[in-house]
Amino acid sequence: MPKINGNEIRPGNVLEHEGGLWVAVKVDHVKPGKGGAFAQVEMKNLRNGSKLNERFRSADKVERVRLEQKDQQFLYENDGMLVFMDTETFDQVELPADLLGERRPFLQDGMTVVIEYYDTEALNVTLPQKVVCKIVETEPVVKGQTAANSFKPAVLDNGVRVMVPPFVAQDEDIVVNTETMEYAERA
């Protein structure tokens, strides 16, 4: 694995540090008036989600890890385990549902996701950025309510609550951003 200098760390880099796999969430490059420059790196553990703040001087060497990304199709859920199929080899893999966290309701049957692997260990599941959902419950459309920043609550077919513009009615399909979990546009 390639070693990089402490000042080359960028957000999104996966690093092997203190025996764990960490993703750099936030990186601030600091040049104090006295002493050498350093990078203040906020990292998140990919295995257990714990956070760590660490300083890396430019002379420090850190191990950068490359994760293998594979497109996989969601098949079904079985006792808290999600079953995915590799779209090239047709191998099936079971992953715990909590790997998706709060984005779990947006996973739909047959959806293709990107799973990141370190050797054979699955570390992260990335959903498509936008997903189409149906509104099952919201307040009726009110004529003349055109204020730019007025939103109303709505419940989607997967049970998730989002805020939608006042012109969106019940039983309409909308596009939801899975990263921010917010309304994006009408479908």
Q: Please check the confidence at residue 136 and state whether its pLDDT lies above 80.
A: yes
Predicted confidence at residue 135, as pLDDT, reads: 92
Predicted confidence at residue 146, as pLDDT, reads: 61
Each residue's pLDDT tens digit, 149-179: 678 899 999 999 999 988 888 899 999 998 8
Each residue's pLDDT tens digit, 57-78: 988 999 998 889 999 999 999 8
- DSSP per residue, 102-141: GGGGG--TT-EEEEEEETTEEEEEE--SEEEEEEEEEPPP
Each residue's pLDDT tens digit, 12-26: 888 998 888 888 889
Predicted confidence at residue 46, as pLDDT, reads: 84
Q: What's the rounded mean pLDDT across residues 85-98?
A: 89
The pTM assigned to this predicted structure is 0.74
CA R_g for the chain = 21
Sequence letter at residue 72: Q
